[in-house]
Amino acid sequence: MEIRVQEAAFDAGDELNAFTKRQVNAGAVVSFSGIVRDVPGVLKHIEIECYPAMTDQALAEFAKEAKDRWELSDVLIIHRHGRLEVAEQIMMVATAAKHRIAAFEAAQFLMDYLKSRAPFWKKEITREGENWVLSNDADENALSRW
């Protein structure tokens, strides 16, 4: 299990290749990468704030729950903080399991919890000003399936 909260950019392809090569007992690897979505003509960049030690601990708890619940052989979570430009990668989740359904479900679980419960604060800087991004009903409702 590897959890990284970092400012530095990362290469999702390299990360996925390295993660996959370590999976000698898995039959499935699932990954998801999140990128800064453009709001055409409006978004300049985003800023993500966190307390890295607190965030590391929260993400490790989510990963442990997923690993136990779906009998995963491995989990990778990378999440960036700091200033991020449009099209930059924000985060990545990878799960490895004996079977694909477990790997897919665990990745979805982790994404839902990262989106709604991870201690990150995101601010959008637009041409009109700055605003903190609040949680939305769809993200909160997604947690109910777990």
Q: What is the pTM of this model?
A: 0.94
DSSP string, 78-101: EEE-EEEETT-EEEEEEEEESSHH
Counting residues of the chain whose pLDDT is more than 70, the rounded percentage is 100
Domains belonging to the chain, first-starting first, are 2-145 (3.90.1170.40)
CB 81 within 8 A of CB 45: no
- Please choose, from the candidates 59, 97, 63, 95, the residue with its C-alpha nearest in 3D space to the C-alpha of residue 80: 59
Tokens 């990362």 -> residue? 10
Which band of pLDDT confidence, cut at 50, 70 and 90, is reported for residue 39? confident
Which band of pLDDT confidence, cut at 50, 70 and 90, is reported for residue 40? confident
pLDDT at 135: 83
CB 16 within 8 A of CB 78: no
